[in-house]
Structure 1
Amino acid sequence: MSDALQTSVDSSRVMNASYEGNFRVDESVLENFPTETKLLSASRFGTSEWTVTARLHLQYADGAEDQYFLKSATDRHGRTLMEGEFNAMCELYKSSRDLVPKPHSWGKYKFEEPETYFFVSQYVDMREEMPNPDDLCEKLAQLHRESHSPTNQFGFHITTCQGRIAQSVAWEDDWTVFFIKLLQHVIVLDFEANGTWDDLDKAEKRLISGVVPRLLDALKQDGHKVKPCLIHADLWEGNTGTSSSTGQVYIYDAAAFYAHNEMEVANWRGYYNKISDKVYTETYLKYYGPSEPKDEWDDRNRLYSIYYNVIYSVNHLSQGKAIRQLAYNDMLYLIDKYAPFAEDERPFQVEKSQMATLSSKRDHTL
């Protein structure tokens, strides 16, 4: 997708443009800024598997200057990506203005081939380093605690995407029902992308019928309730940054929806993320403790991480086998504990010596 768009951008570059740089900016992007705003430069910036990205330097009529980050994607799916991210970032910004770059606008390019959509946000110059655990987790816990679902339900008002994959986030009253639909959606995509695997299919069906209701319905026992909290939903180190000038931690590339807050940090369980360092989860729990029953927190964390692993296997097909095996073994662990098979029906676990390995750490995608 990004190759086709980049070719189009390069070929349509106005040779006598009045601004510097190697990126052609469609006039539809500039129409979202005040009249007489001048584009000083536009240059390719960052790397992405799913989109084309650039940095814009603008000057307003009063002489003030500012920089923006531009992201573009093609075809109807590009609309889903850009509209979803704009709405996700707006919702996060509304709840936590000191945690996300300010979203600016989204829309459709005027040129027709390929059909292209864009998202513009505030540009923040960031250092490439792991986020400070306290700075990140305190703000994240505050976001989860203070955010309020506009419908008092779980989900989101528009489809959001994790990587290139659209999530199933239609509103639901019940967290167990919502999570099952969320998980089933990516399970179907995984089998379409990575092929059938009978034992995995068997484990997934038992997980959904037995384990998910057992673990998630327990959150509502003894008068407890599951609060729909706004989560980033794709939070790993590649989607965080630290301002070079202020040291402030930011999160971006959101796939947001309203969920049980504990789902956020389950993405930190995957060993392919550097943020899997236990200091991050331990620090988060310092600011936002486990839900009741507390002794089942780690099992819920494992359950929620299965969603992230399955969708990762769809987004990164070359690494799909290794991550499917990781998810599969986690399923068997939870099934053995909460909804065991008869001894002669239990699928075989993938031994560590037989597991595929990731070819590299997770790619940084924007």
Structure 2
Amino acid sequence: MSDVGEWQEDVQGRLPVHKAVVRVLPEGTKVLSAEPSGTSAWTKTAKVSVLLPDGNPKRYFLKCASGQGARSLAEGEFHSASAIDAIVPGMVPKPIGWGEYKVGETHVYFIVSDYYDMKLRERPNPAQFVSMVADLHERGTSPNGMFGFAVTTVCGKMERTVTWTESWAESFSNQLKDVIKYDNETNGPWPEYDAACKQLLDVVIPRLLGALQSDGRDITPTLVHGDLWENNVGIDKATGNIVVFDPGCVYAHNEMEFGTWRCTWAFHFALPLYTRLYHGRLGPSEPVEEWDDRNRLYSIHPYLNDSAGHPGSISRQIAYNDMLYLCDKYGPLDSLEKYDPAKDVAINGTHIPFVINQLESDWSPKVDSPSIQQVEMAEGPPCA
């Protein structure tokens, strides 16, 4: 799948297109141009304009990545988008293909999908959006009845452990261990935090998530987008339809989808209306009274994922305080520090602005690409 130094000729624009990319397009497609499109902390993205074999013009979206999690990002997103598109057609841009090429010694992985000219950061119609998400969760049942996914997927650039298992507590623990490891690699050890992580994994999760599959209760593994926050949702300018992108799927407990809606970067989805509409279609799992605690637990994953990708982020402190809350309630341990309500964003309503730095790569042969872009985003951190 790897090629060295094969670039498509006669392509206009500021970005090159490798022949490996052309090979996943319909045979006979002529690439006309490629221009930077969008802002991403982990990838280089482009709008690729082509002429199809029948002479009709078309645009594709190209995303390229190298380094940590790059293959899983491209391959995982392709299979994730394919799974979503098969269940709710039109919910995500139709995936076309993925692949790999080399620039020098650097492996570059890419995914190609249909291009949409979208309005971003605009609040999606709550009823329409929630109906789309509920359709995905209701119809997207696991092919083997287990939790996991067929290929490794990512949130941002952080890979998930998606080994098939019948236990949701085990599946989520695996994913949480991933981001704890990444966070420690980025920010270094913290003994008090490490102790809370251990108690969360050893005691709290078996109790809180184990209750979903005990005493006659059960949950159905369902397909979740895996990174469903506001900056992964747009409005197609041509049709007005809602489009969701950058999936990193896993067959999971459907409530895991909403952990990020609790986080400090949530702005539209933090509104109770979205959750209320969803529960009108698919109610909370039993035990219903533990819904909010499960939501708090699920929010720890995106918080630590953010912390791992952004050294010094306050997300680590927020996640730690949430761990202390859950440990105090479901697995008290005298040696742990005490939960601080004043630091609880569910109480104080903290909303944190971020600055996203566009990824600059050294694996593009053209030198006239735009310089690094800094985009002020009050909405939160990038996850793709």
TM, length-normalised to structure 1: 0.89
The answer to whether the 8 A contact 2:159-2:178 is kept is no
Report how many aligned residue pairs link the two structures: 350
Match of 2:298 in 1: 304
Return the offset for 1:101: 0.8
Return the offset for 1:111: 4.5
1:179-194 matches, within 5 Å, as: 179-194=172-187
Letter in 2 for 1:234: D
Counterpart secondary structure, 1:235:
coil
Give, in whole Å, the separation in 1 of the partners of 2:157 and 2:43: 9
Deviations 1:106-153 (A, max 9, x none): 011265443212100011111121222211111101110111212211
Give, in whole Å, the separation in 2 of the partners of 1:200 and 1:222: 32
Instruction: Name structure 2 gaps, 5 residues minimum.
Output: 355-377
Letter in 2 for 1:347: E
Match of 2:371 in 1: none
Counterpart secondary structure, 1:267:
helix
Q: Residue 225 of structure 1 is aligned with which of 218, 227, 230? A: 218
Match of 1:23 in 2: 15
Match of 1:347 in 2: 337
Match of 2:237 in 1: 244
1:279-318 matches, within 5 Å, as: 279-318=273-312
Residue 326, structure 1, aligned to residue 318, structure 2: yes
1:147-296 matches, within 5 Å, as: 147-274=140-267, 275-296=269-290
Letter in 2 for 1:278: P
Q: Residue 48 of structure 2 is aligned with which of 50, 56, 65? A: 56
Match of 2:365 in 1: none
Letter in 2 for 1:80: S
The answer to whether the 8 A contact 1:268-1:281 is kept is no
Detail structure 1 runs of 4+ shifted over 6 Å in the superposition: 11-14, 353-357
Q: Answer 1 or 2: which has greater helix percent.
A: 1
Counterpart secondary structure, 1:156:
coil
What is the root-mean-square deviation of aligned Cα atoms in Å? 2.3
Letter in 1 for 2:54: D
Give, in whole Å, the separation in 1 of the partners of 2:270 and 2:226: 15
Return the offset for 1:36: 2.6
The answer to whether the 8 A contact 1:37-1:59 is kept is yes
Point out the more displaced range, 50-59 or 127-136: 127-136
TM, length-normalised to structure 2: 0.85
Give, in whole Å, the separation in 2 of the partners of 1:105 and 1:130: 30
The answer to whether the 8 A contact 2:265-2:381 is kept is no
Give, in whole Å, the separation in 2 of the partners of 1:139 and 1:357: 27
Letter in 1 for 2:336: R
Instruction: Name structure 1 gaps, 5 residues minimum.
Output: 1-10
Give, in whole Å, the separation in 2 of the partners of 1:363 and 1:325: 16
Counterpart secondary structure, 1:72:
strand
Letter in 1 for 2:23: E
Identity fraction in percent: 40
Point out the more displaced range, 132-141 or 259-268: 132-141
Letter in 2 for 1:101: P
Deviations 1:267-307 (A, max 9, x none): 10002222323222222222211011111111111111111
Return the offset for 1:204: 1.4
1:35-46 matches, within 5 Å, as: 35-46=27-38
Match of 1:114 in 2: 106
Return the offset for 1:55: 0.4
The answer to whether the 8 A contact 2:234-2:242 is kept is yes
Match of 1:6 in 2: none
Counterpart secondary structure, 1:233:
coil
